[in-house]
A = this chain, B = another copy of it.
Amino acid sequence: RMAALLDLVMDQVQEIQGSARKRGRATRPQWPMIVLRSPKGWTGPREVDGLPVEGTWRAHQVPVDNMTNPEHLRILEQWLRSYHAEELFDDKGALVAELAALPPKGQRRMSANPHANGGELLQALRLPDFREYAVKADKPGTTFDEATKVLGAFLRDVIAKNPRNFRLMGPDETASNRLSAVFDVTDRDWLAEMLPTDDHLAPDGRVMEVLSEHLCQGWLEGYLLTGRHGMFNCYEAFTHIVDAMFNQHAKWLEVTNRLPWRRPIASFNYLLSSHVWRQDHNGFTHQDPGFIDVVMNKKAEVVRVYLAPDTNCLLSIADHCLRSRQYVNVIVAGKQRSLNYLSMEDAIVHCTRGIGIWDWASNDTGEPDVVMACAGDIPTLEALAATDLIRQHLPDLKVRVVNVVDLMTLQPQTEHPHGLSDAEFDALFTTSRPVIFAYHGYPWLIHRLCYRRRNHANMHVRGYKEEGTTTTPFDMVMLNDLDRFHLVMDVIDRVPGLGSRAGHVRQRMMDERLRHRQYTRDHGEDEPDVRDWTWPY
């Protein structure tokens, strides 16, 4: 009866698909569904110690335990004998030939079916050359772009070139995260009723939007596991909604890495935008950069985290992630108008290294007095603006600027394949100079990554410390002491011998903070000197 029902259902599925293909247009089908109700613990012991087991909640536990009780042992024996092992196996314990012939062979086996071992079906994406989307950045820190908007153009062409095996998932934020260019070539997938005012809905859209991060995550997992590619774009703070699902996917990747018959699948790519530093309208509830911390708890071999300082870097990172296999890639990138620092050529080198000194921003000629480190678009902006202030007010100070794209480089080589050797790390961060580190997320993560490094005791990290509200971008960094003025104060406090000599400068920085704060209260926006700051050298 079950076999006949399965045949019927398969026929119905084929009919729905066939008719949609004939019409060249899908509608919302009523897929057949088989509901099989069976008693819980079916064919197990019916009753133990006078209490019903089969068909009750007790079957969810160990149905019969304590084998020193002869009655229990009898029940167990009766239960096991009910399977009639003597009919299933021959004298030598082998499955009888008649039964061994039953299961399907080769790829028809459930585990060998390519749809269950999606890597077998995986086709590399046809990727457009990401260099062609490069924005101009001839003079660092002087032109502005919206990183995710440019990425949108790249993703548009990824979709156009791969119309059958790439999807973009997200909770109704594709436009809000500025990826709207994709709608030039595709639509949001939609099979239900449409209204005249609806925008870019179609039954064959490659964008899947639903205001449920859980569904987005589940859809993309299923899509990847069956051999396709995709990206999940999400508000940074709300990615925590799928923490538990991410955990299971990462564990799955980790375990399958050890199974030789499992073919690699495409990486799970998260694009976290609308991040903690730019929630001018949404405020405190939308400020949480902690998904990175959850990700970093999983095995080094399966997780990667990239913080894009600017647009060209984001393009290079995205291209890399879309080519990778068996990882969870987390990309953090802003959507707002922000400065370009690197030409595409420089961005490729920088992102491939994952970390590097920015010569053009540094004025040290060997050993610096202080290292300004930064990771993430807003911290990079503030670190560079602080460097500018230092050059103006403390021109003797030798400052080295180090930017981190790939967080994993900070870990020891023994902990992560991307980890720098101690010699490499020391060459960048020195072994004895103060390091002021402006970081996108919770500052202690940097300590957790760097605590074994030689210069760790000199590292001072600024980041999000859970201070937030609905306010201007610059007020947000001030609330968390990540602003340019505070970074200069941190430098003054930590470079030996600078303290009293730079007393006037330090006080001026404090005054600047107060003045800028007052301006936000008076005008509801940031002062133009901050908003329109560019790299002046």
Contacts and interface: CB of A to CB of B under 8 A. Distances in A.
Interface of A: 52, 55-58, 197-199, 237-238, 240-241, 243-244, 247-248, 251, 254-255, 284-285, 288, 290, 293-294, 297-299, 442, 444-445, 447-448, 451, 456, 466
Nearest to A467: B299
Contacts of A57: 197-199
Contacts of A293: 293-294, 297
B297 A284 contact: no
B238 A244 contact: yes
Given A293-B294, A297-B466, A299-B466, 4 more contacts: A238-B244, A243-B244, A294-B294, A451-B451
Contacts of A58: 197
Nearest to A251: B284
6 contacts: A243-B294, A251-B284, A251-B285, A288-B297, A293-B293, A444-B451
A121 to B, nearest CB: 25
Q: Of A199, A284, A451, which is in contact with the most chain B CB atoms at under 10 Å from its CB?
A: A451
B466 A456 contact: no
Nearest to A444: B448
Nearest to A57: B199
A466 B284 CA distance: 32
B288 A247 contact: yes
A255 B287 CA distance: 14
A466 B56 contact: no
Nearest to A447: B451
A290 B55 CA distance: 36
Given A451-B451, A451-B456, A456-B451, A290 B284 contact: no
Contacts of A290: 247, 294, 297
B248 A442 contact: no
A223 B254 CA distance: 40
A442 B296 CA distance: 10
A442 B298 CA distance: 10
Contact of A240 (B198, B244, B444, B445): B244
A198 B58 CA distance: 10
Given A244-B243, A448-B447, A284 B255 contact: yes
Contacts of A299: 466
A298 B466 contact: yes
A447 B240 CA distance: 23
A408 to B, nearest CB: 14
Given A197-B56, A288-B247, A447-B451, A297 B442 contact: yes
Nearest to A464: B297
A480 to B, nearest CB: 12
Contacts of A238: 244
A260 to B, nearest CB: 17
A431 to B, nearest CB: 14
Contacts of A247: 237, 240, 288, 290
A243 to B, nearest CB: 4
A297 B445 CA distance: 10
Contacts of A456: 451
A278 B469 CA distance: 41
Contacts of A52: 197
A471 to B, nearest CB: 14
Contact of A285 (B243, B248, B294, B451): B248
Nearest to A60: B172
A237 B298 CA distance: 13
A262 to B, nearest CB: 15
A493 to B, nearest CB: 15
Q: Of A244, A293, A456, which is in contact with the most chain B CB atoms at under 10 Å from its CB?
A: A244
Nearest to A199: B57
Contacts of A56: 197
A254 B447 CA distance: 25
B55 A197 contact: yes
A77 to B, nearest CB: 20
A444 to B, nearest CB: 4
The 7 closest A-B pairs by CB, nearest first: A240-B244, A56-B197, A243-B243, A241-B244, A444-B448, A240-B243, A448-B448
